[in-house]
Structure 1
Amino acid sequence: MTSSFTAFEGERRLASGPLDEVALAIKHAGPQAVAPIVIFDDLTGRSLDLDLRGSDADVLARLARNSEPGKTSEAAAPTSEPRGRGRPKLGVVAREVTLLPRHWEWLNAQPGGASVALRKLVEQARRASGDADRARAAREAAYHFMSAMAGNLPGFEEATRALFADDRRRMAGHIATWPADIRDHVVKLAYSDRAD
């Protein structure tokens, strides 16, 4: 899935697409902007800050450096503990899992041992709940965006309740008077990959 970002200048959608394109659109609009510009990650609905100093090439170089493979986020940063088991070249990382003794007994009795059994269980759960997980993530992204851009608009609380109740019609009624670009983006984040 390609990452998508959307920038808003006040209540108006300024740009949407890959981060480098949106960053340059913001940079070029900055001097003429009549309202604050905010950029959102469409996957999470959260806003982010970009360093837009320097030339277009400088901005693009910084974005490329920050998205290089192998860069770790704060949450995924390695600990100072010595490296244990795992197959880093294959992307396998050793982590600690806490289970009850009966769980360990069952896992160790499985063909391939605990690690193989856990990987199979995780993959099975991902397949079984994939649609529900995507729908939940979409609702959360829409909520984060709504909170930032529409928290003071009429009907926000009722729209939020309808969003989490997965009642699209009721939500549409509560956001009908919102600025069109904000309203359309909420609907896109919450429902674009799902059938009505």
Structure 2
Amino acid sequence: MFAAENGLKGDPRLQAISDAIRVVPHFPKPGIMFQDITTLLLDHKAFKDTVDIFVDRYRDMDISVVAGVEARGFMFGPSIALAIGAKFVPLRKPRKLPGEVIAETYDLEYGSDRLEMHVGAVQPGERVIVIDDLVATGGTLSAAIRLLERVGAQVVECACVIGLREVKGQRRLNGKPLYILVEPREIDGCY
């Protein structure tokens, strides 16, 4: 669900967040309209508003873990976790975490990738939200859900700053709700 459809319709913060995200045409390859959140991070007010909207949503949901997907989920997750009194758990790409890990492999358009998490970072029954910057196909978030559920966590919701309205069934991922702040901005008639 989009934030504007869930009580934030007309909230000027959403427009400011959208405006702070730079669109880079044809990056990293032709035809891709890259949604660059680094410019959002440079705008103190828009960055704070982004975190505040997520905090307001999750503050009273008894969340014990904020799981951030590498790498851009790391930019929002720790601030949200601190504000709601939860721990932050990084979900990393392969071979980035020292020590024993549990992993979940997932398919990409061309090939596969893997998310890893430290063994023992999340306990059975803990209530988790998964945060990332953008959802396109939902593959990475679905892998994150599977990884967390394998250790007995209860994934409450996935949250992204940006999401495509037409993403394949992304209002729910693996049966879990998806909360999105803004849609990608259009540049010259393209997304």
Q: How does the TM-score come out when normalised to structure 1?
A: 0.22
Q: Please identify the structure whose Cα radius of gyration is greater.
A: 1
TM-score, reference length from structure 2: 0.23
